[in-house]
A = this chain, B = another copy of it.
Amino acid sequence: MARDKERTKARIIDAVGGLLTRSGFRAVGVNAVAEAAGVDKVLIYRYFGGLAGLLETVADEPDLWPTVDAVLAEAGIDEGGRDHGGTLAEAVAPLLIAYMRLLGRRPAALEAVAWGVAEQNPLSDALARRRNEWGNDVAGRVFRGRKAPADRDIQAVLCVLLGAVDHLMALSRLGVSFNGIELGTDGGLGRIEDAVAVLVHGALGGVIPGADPGVRPGPG
């Protein structure tokens, strides 16, 4: 039980996750991690080469970031990748909302996203790499078999929407308001979800659900 190197490494990694969740990125230092893990801080240097190496290792932990399958499941999309026959917008909107909700339940991931905006750090850098593969994976599964409007930069549109979700969810964890909407409440986040759906349907095509036909974009 005692004197198990792998177990000790795992405890250190877990300590980082707990610290991120409970106390935020600012609290993640060599001393604090060592104390939270109940080990000597020298081991962080020995086993991970320092705090930077430790954070990179943490970023590769599978439970830090929501998996593609988890997002698809949350969105109610068959993970087998079978096409549900809907339009692109009908697939993307629930996906973004599912991503939003999953992110909201992962304080450590939100913390990493938020601090990756403030300054580059080993955790957010490694996470950014993983997210890129993640995005490609999702895109590959969603775009397959669906017609995308060729006259719009879908990648850029998704970039904007993903950026918005990251930003607003990161702010929500602080319980602040943004543009008059309380992001710390379910009501506020619900409004954001609806707005995301409106934006997706408006930009990616298809009818906006529940929209008054009189104001729907059209040739008129």
Contact = CB atoms under 8 A, between A and B. Distances in A.
Interface of A: 24-26, 114-115, 117-120, 128, 132, 135-136, 149-153, 155-164, 166-168, 170-171, 174, 176-181, 191-192, 194-196, 198-199, 201-208, 210-213, 215-219
A139 B181 CA distance: 14
Interface centre among A174, A199, A218 (most CB of B within 10 A): A199
Copies of this polypeptide in the complex: 2
Contact of A158 (B128, B160, B179): B179
Contacts of A194: 153, 156
Nearest to A155: B180
Given A161-B164, A202-B202, 19 more contacts: A25-B118, A128-B176, A128-B178, A135-B180, A152-B208, A155-B180, A159-B178, A160-B161, A160-B164, A160-B168, A163-B163, A163-B171, A163-B178, A167-B167, A199-B203, A202-B217, A203-B203, A207-B217, A213-B219
Contact of A206 (B177, B195, B217): B217
A218 B215 contact: no
Nearest to A169: B163
A150 to B, nearest CB: 7
A117 B114 contact: yes
A114 B167 CA distance: 10
B206 A167 contact: no
Contact of A151 (B163, B196, B215): B215
Contacts of A198: 152-153, 157, 203
Nearest to A129: B177
A191 B135 contact: no
Contacts of A157: 195, 198-199
Most chain B Cβ neighbours within 10 Å, of A150, A166, A195, A212: A195
Given A128-B176, A151-B210, A170-B117, A160 B195 contact: yes
A139 to B, nearest CB: 9
A179 to B, nearest CB: 4
Given A157-B195, A199-B160, A176 B217 contact: no
A212 B180 contact: no
